[in-house]
């Protein structure tokens, strides 16, 4: 009987370690979530304040949402933010897809690790450093060309968003079955046809996830936009920053709540797509 019980004891001791089974994990996780999301509650609540105060709730009203909707400056900033985010996510996703294919659908070669590190460099370098570098670069170009359009912001946001789009696309490629592409090659499909008919349909969820993540990052960016933008090129985040420097009203709360809602929806779709990719 003792010998029969030994394998069971050994198996119980070899159970894989899980942080979720450790004492206090649930309590610590709840505290962390509370510290992260509790400040958002008063932000949303005071966006429905009927009064002008951010300290005293004077009644329920959609006054500040209507005010933000009718504000011409907010409308222009919102349109500019969406155009910028769509353009940046589009170009960043294309470049990230090409980079992911070039670092996964090839034999290992010297410098591959360095290329991977360079692609993900914006994730490691402080954003303020990237913003200052882009400011210096674009300032010299503006002086030489006298062009002050939105292209600078699109280029800056695209460069910053590439690694955010690259990671889910690369993860999707690494999880794909290579035998399907090999079978297409055995059936005399060209590389382009195999990519278009086999790789791209399988890769599509990863591309969508990367595009949505890049869209959210671009839509919420403040630091790079503040350094690179020219006069009259405010986005919603930089417009809100300017309003906070002048006077604070619940209109800023209303705009923030809308941005929060958009971000939550897009990130939720991103995680749903990620689950489908597994």
Q: Using the predicted structure, report yes or no on whether residue 260 has a pLDDT greater than 80.
A: yes
Q: Mean of the per-residue pLDDT values for the chain?
A: 83
Overall average pLDDT of the 122-132 stretch: 88
Task: Quote the pLDDT of residue 166.
Answer: 92
Q: Has domain 71-277 been given CATH number 1.10.3720.10?
A: yes
Could you tell me which residues are beta bridge partners of residue 60?
A: 49
Overall average pLDDT of the 85-91 stretch: 94
Q: Using the predicted structure, report yes or no on whether residue 242 has a pLDDT greater than 50.
A: yes
Could you tell me which residues are beta bridge partners of residue 49?
A: 60
Calculate what percentage of the chain has a pLDDT beyond 70. Answer: 91
User: Which whole-number Å values give the CA distances from 48 to 10, 59, 256, in the listed order?
Assistant: 60, 8, 12
The half-sphere exposure of 178 on its side-chain side, counting CA atoms within 13 A, is: 5
Contacts of 212 (CB under 8 A, 6+ apart): 89, 266, 267, 269, 270, 273
Calculate what percentage of the chain has a pLDDT beyond 90. Answer: 22
* Ramachandran category for residue 247: left, alpha or beta (phi over 0 → left; psi -120 to 50 → alpha): beta
Tens of pLDDT along 17-71?
A: 677 777 777 888 899 888 888 888 888 888 888 888 777 788 888 888 888 888 8
107-127 as b/e: b if 16+ CB within 10 A = eeeeeeeeeeeebbebeeeee
Task: Quote the pLDDT of residue 54.
Answer: 74
- Whether 162 and 99 have beta carbons less than 8 Å apart is answered as yes
Task: Quote the pLDDT of residue 90.
Answer: 95
In whole angstroms, what is the distance from residue 91 CA to residue 89 CA? 6
Task: Quote the pLDDT of residue 178.
Answer: 74
Q: How many angstroms from the chain centroid is the CA of residue 41?
A: 22
3 pLDDT band, cuts 50/70/90, is low
Q: Using the predicted structure, report yes or no on whether residue 157 has a pLDDT greater than 70.
A: yes
Task: Quote the pLDDT of residue 1.
Answer: 46
Overall average pLDDT of the 112-117 stretch: 81
| Of 82-86, 155-159, 230-234, the least confident | 230-234
User: Which whole-number Å values give the CA distances from 84 to 158, 219, 234, 255, in the listed order?
Assistant: 9, 8, 11, 18
Task: Quote the pLDDT of residue 262.
Answer: 83
**Cβ atoms < 10 Å from Cβ of 216:** 22
HEC letters along the chain: CHHHHHHHHHHHHCCCCCHHHCCCHHHHHHHHHHHHHCCHHHHHHHCCECCCCCCCCCCECCHHHHHHHHCHHHHHHHHHHHHHHHHHHHHHHHHHHHHHHHHHCCCCCCCHHHHHHHHCHHHHCCHHHHHHHHHHHHHHHHHHHCCCCCHHHHHHHHHHHHHHHHHHHHHHHHCCCHHHHHHHHHCCCCHHHHHHHHHHHHHHHHHHHHHHHHHHHHHHCCHHHHHHCCCCCCCHHHHHHHHHHHCCCHHHHHHHHHHHHHHHHHHHHHHHHHHHHC
Between 180 and 150, the higher pLDDT residue:
150
Tens of pLDDT along 193-229?
A: 877 787 788 888 888 888 988 998 998 899 999 999 9
């Amino acid at each position: 009987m003792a010998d029969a019980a030994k394998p069971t004891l050994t198996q119980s001791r070899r159970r894989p370690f899980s942080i979720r089974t450790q004492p206090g994990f649930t309590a610590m996780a709840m505290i962390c979530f509370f510290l992260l999301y509790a400040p958002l509650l008063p932000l949303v609540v005071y966006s429905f304040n009927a009064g002008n105060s951010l300290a005293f709730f004077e009644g329920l009203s959609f006054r500040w949402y209507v005010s933000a909707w009718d504000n011409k400056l907010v409308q222009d900033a919102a349109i500019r933010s969406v155009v910028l985010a769509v353009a940046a996510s589009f170009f960043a996703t294309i470049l990230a897809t090409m980079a992911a294919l070039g670092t996964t659908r090839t034999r290992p070669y010297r410098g591959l690790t360095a290329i991977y590190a360079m692609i993900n460099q914006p994730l490691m370098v402080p954003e303020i450093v990237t913003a200052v570098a882009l400011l210096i670069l674009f300032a010299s170009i503006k002086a030489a060309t006298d062009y002050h359009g939105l292209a600078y912001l699109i280029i800056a946001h695209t460069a910053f968003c590439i690694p955010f789009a690259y990671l889910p696309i690369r993860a999707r490629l690494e999880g794909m079955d290579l035998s399907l592409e090999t079978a297409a090659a055995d059936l005399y499909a060209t590389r382009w046809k195999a990519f278009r008919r086999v790789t791209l349909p399988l890769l599509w969820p990863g591309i969508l996830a990367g595009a949505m993540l890049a869209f959210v990052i671009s839509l919420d960016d403040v630091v790079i936009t503040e350094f690179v933008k020219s006069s009259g090129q405010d986005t919603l985040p930089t417009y809100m920053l300017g309003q906070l420097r002048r006077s604070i009203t619940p209109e800023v709360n209303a705009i923030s709540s809308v941005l929060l809602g958009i971000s939550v929806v897009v990130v939720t779709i991103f995680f749903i797509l990620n689950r489908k990719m597994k």
